[in-house]
Amino acid sequence: MPLAVSDCELSGLLASKAQIILETNTCVDYVDIIGVTGDGRYVNLSDAVEVAAGDEEIASYRNGRIYGVGEGMTELRLRYGSLEVGIPVTVNAYFDFEAMIEAMLSGEGEVSPCSVPGPQMQAVMSRAYEMYSVEWVTKDAFILNDGTKVGKGTTLRGLPYTQKNRCTVREFLSYHDKWETSGFYTFELRDNGCYWCEYGIDCTGLICWAWNLPVNGRNTFGTSKLWDEIKDANSSKFEKVGAYTIPANATLSQSVNQAELYASYGQLNVGDAVVQRRDNGGHARLVLTNIRASEKVSFYEAHGNFPEIVTFSYDQLAYDHYCPFTIKTDFYNQYN
């Protein structure tokens, strides 16, 4: 069994990396925050520490992730109880993703190749951006996925994370308008310490709605369903992007060759996706843009409290065995 924090007295706090260097804002790197016990044992506190100091307009921390926010250098001081550890973070450049998205949606900007026709791609990106950018004002106190408490009258941006009642933006706003009768401000405390609010979106819900698929109901696609579909060479719904091979009867994406995955990421286009399956579940992301020159992909991702834009290198994606895939045009058209 893993060592429980309550079972020991901590004598120090360590970070698994001495420093973090990120190419641009939205880039993400991982770090473990480790508590050291008096008798020399270790406990992972990545999900339990909080930011005590640092310029969070340059970089931020959440649950073992360092996020680039703006250009510059800062030291994030992470705290657990009376203990602190510092991580110097450098973000080399700032890129205006909002301006890129606006140009993409207006048809005025340059758009990298896409796997579906232009009008469909614009619709996909428009729905994704709506989930990411919708603003709403709380009508009662609110608890987010990571346990953050939000007061009444707070302006929030984006659909909150949940796997309870996934919904579209229009449905979300309707439930919020009827908050006193819809049960909008109820929430569920999970065994892992996270909260699910009554209405919102999760990783595959974001992809489903962007692709014009049902978000809830029997046709809902979770990561397990997506994985099963892309393993099926005869699937009428989805198909692999790239030439990687999924071994027969594979149940987890760790079984896919990392070098083959790496070689496939260069073929990802705007509006495609990646999915990962592990023993404890899975995760998926929607492609916003593929930065081929630096071998990085920017995604829309529902992971924390709200959808966000994140950027990962091909190396990071291959290390985590993310499998690239896309929706077939005929299947997309079924739901227009």
Residue 216: predicted pLDDT: 77
φ, ψ of residue 144 in degrees (nearest 5): -85, 175
Residue with more model confidence, 106 or 66? 66
Please, which pLDDT band fits residue 334 given cuts at 50, 70 and 90?
A: low
Span 157-170, pLDDT tens digits: 999 999 899 999 99
> DSSP characters for 193-218?
S-EEESSBB-HHHHHHHHTT--SSST
Span 23-41, pLDDT tens digits: 999 999 999 999 998 888 9
Span 206-225, pLDDT tens digits: 999 999 988 875 457 889 99
Alpha helices in the chain (DSSP H): 97-106, 118-133, 169-177, 179-182, 203-210, 223-231, 258-265, 314-319, 329-333
User: Is the Cβ–Cβ distance between 324 and 273 less than 8 Å?
Assistant: yes
CA dist., res. 272 & res. 186, Å (int): 34
User: Is the Cβ–Cβ distance between 261 and 324 less than 8 Å?
Assistant: yes
**Domain extent listing, the chain:** 5-93, 213-333
Burial of 146 (0-12, 13-18, 19+ CB in 10 A): middle
Span 273-312, pLDDT tens digits: 999 999 878 999 999 999 999 999 999 999 999 999 999 9
Q: Tell me: pLDDT of 3 over 80.
A: no
Q: Tell me: pLDDT of 185 over 70.
A: yes
CA dist., res. 133 & res. 159, Å (int): 8
Q: Is 329 helix (H, G, I), strand (E, B) or coil?
A: helix
Residue 14: predicted pLDDT: 95
Q: Which CATH architecture has domain 5-93?
A: Sandwich (2.60)
